[in-house]
Structure 1
Amino acid sequence: MYAVLAVGLAALSLEPPHSTPLWPMVLLGIGGLAALTIRHRYPRLSFGAAVTLSVLSLACGSGAESLLAVVAVYSAGARHKGRIAWLSFGIAMASAAIGAVALSMRGTVGPPILGLAPRILGRDPLLDWANVFLIIAAVLLIVALLGTNAGHRRRYIGELVVRAERLARERDQQVEIARALERERIAREMHDVIAHSLSVIIAVSDGAHAAADDRPAEAKAAIARVAETGRRALGEVRRLLGSVRDDGGSAQEHEPQPDASRLATLAGEFVAAGLPVRLTVAGTPSTDPGLGLTVYRIVQESLTNVLRHARQVRAVTVTVAWTADDVTIHVRDDGPPIAAGTEEGRGLLGIRERVALYGGTVDAGPDVEGGWRVLARLRSGDPQS
């Protein structure tokens, strides 16, 4: 566009009787093309060249280079924020004032542009300057407003795109965190179910093997308990796997989650496996199913650890005390003394994680009177997020 305008104005300026020298217009045209070429890579240099060439064009050229100042002001407004954009506009206005002086003087002492000077310029230099400057200033102001508005819209849309991308990343991160937490929860549940069931099965199987010759009826009953424990464990594993597998199955196909109301049944299973458990429950259990499941799993894991690791245990006491604000779980066996500093297994780590979920505390380790004890206290409120 600039090249077409420059050639057209130059051709008109060369027509007699008010012809303008050719070589200034050629140099100004080359300089204008160079300024347009480098405006993306060197915007400051291009802006300076544009306002300079526009003044020179008004002084001795065809005036086509005035378009460069218009493009430069628009680009500055679109590319930069308010302060730099309006500073560029101020520089362009200063060059416009100088260019208006050159054009008003050109109407009397130099070659006119297109022969129009006699019609737009009079004999009063100050009035001529004011007329030309007001026209140029109005054009530059309109262009500056258009450029700043375009730049504001472009930056606003860019910020919206960046924000949308950031929200998408955060959403994906939250999904990954939720998946990791769900995997950890399922792994913890699987550990509790499988470790408890296998410990009971092993203990009962050992008893059945020992009684197979002398007490076949007791061995037969023990084998039945092994089968029942295995079926129950298989059902819980299927329920856990079904909660993460999209197979169209309904929740009614699986057993409900265990809770505090099944503690007596849990203790009976360990008694049947040969562990002398004495259960005491005080207070009214909470109706929160999550808290009930947590209490059940803590007792289950504690008794499983006793069944797997304790030797010469004569009694295991389990005390669950409910209050309006919290619940206290105390599991203790009277086995032989255990060395301090015994490494905690995954089961105790799972207990600590469950207790921390309800903002509670847990103290697990060798008891001063021998054996092992687990003392956990959980708040009855909502679990911490």
Structure 2
Amino acid sequence: SMADVQAELSRYPQPKESGSIDEIAFLKQAIIMVYQFQYKEAAAKLAEVLRANRYNYIAWLWYSRIVGKTESILKTLGEAQRWGNADREVLQENKRNRALLVAAPATVKRCPICWTVLVDNPACCSYCKAQLKIHEGEFSKPASQDYIETAVTRLEKVQKFDPKNVHVAYCLALGYFNLDKIERALGFLRVAARYSPGVASYQQAVHILETLLARQESTASARPAAIQPARAASLPKAGQKSILVIEDSPTSRKVISMVLTREGYHVVEASTGADGIMLAGEVIPSLILLDIMLPDMTGFDVLPRLKDMPHLQQVPVIMLTGKTGSADRMLGIRAGSSEYLTKPFNPQKLIEIIKKYL
């Protein structure tokens, strides 16, 4: 949506409007096209911006991300740095890509997660370490998942208004595969396979994920019942305040539950957005802890549905995330959250924030 692109553009100084075109509007349209993998159309829009104002380094940066020729990437990155040499993102992207482009062939591809140049068809990105293909077997998880979570959040917003976009669906599947959320990855991969039935690699990837999911479910069913996601097994005692915890990580839920129980709170747990919404309709929590990255939807999707319930409209919601971006923080606040807490966090910090509202 335009609101999401506005958040993207807010990280840069706003360009002046040209006498012939509205650069901001054209940039918004171009960025949406890039997110939809409509590179030819995006390039045309960016070219119009640059013809009107060759000093617009934002346009040069985005242009560099969608061209495939090594020579063109070097030129556009150079222009972005020439006119935006104080911009951190421009400097970082130049630094990591120029070193790779020295020995690159005439044309290259880019990592769909972090825009890094891919040389010699690698199995994973040299920068964000994301796996670039869905496959069987073990692999090292990315050292930092921030890039992947950011990409997944961005692509899910695009997928909502372009649900049949096969490239978006596949990249979402790849992102969730890297996050080890196999069921979510499989859902998006089936979308890609449905709209492109002739692509054998999609069908093969579906089979791989179905096998992995069956293996995970088999392992989960063999675990002790104590570590399964908990339901509201008991009612709070008289005067005891309840906290609804919507968090997909069993480890995080267990730690949070222990901390809250020790402080005297009654805890209700949910491992998915759907479960959280259902439980929120059955209980009257005094406060809600809501993770942003859930297996079936995002916290940004869950929050408005919680606030639609009359008995929850005044209930404080604290959003939990591994991301530190200000844009995501603003999205949470606009959606109605009271606080935005970055993981990992000190348990005492969590209690201090909760006590601000209870």
Same fold (TM over 0.5): no
TM-score (norm 1): 0.20
TM-score (norm 2): 0.22
**Higher relative helix content:** 1
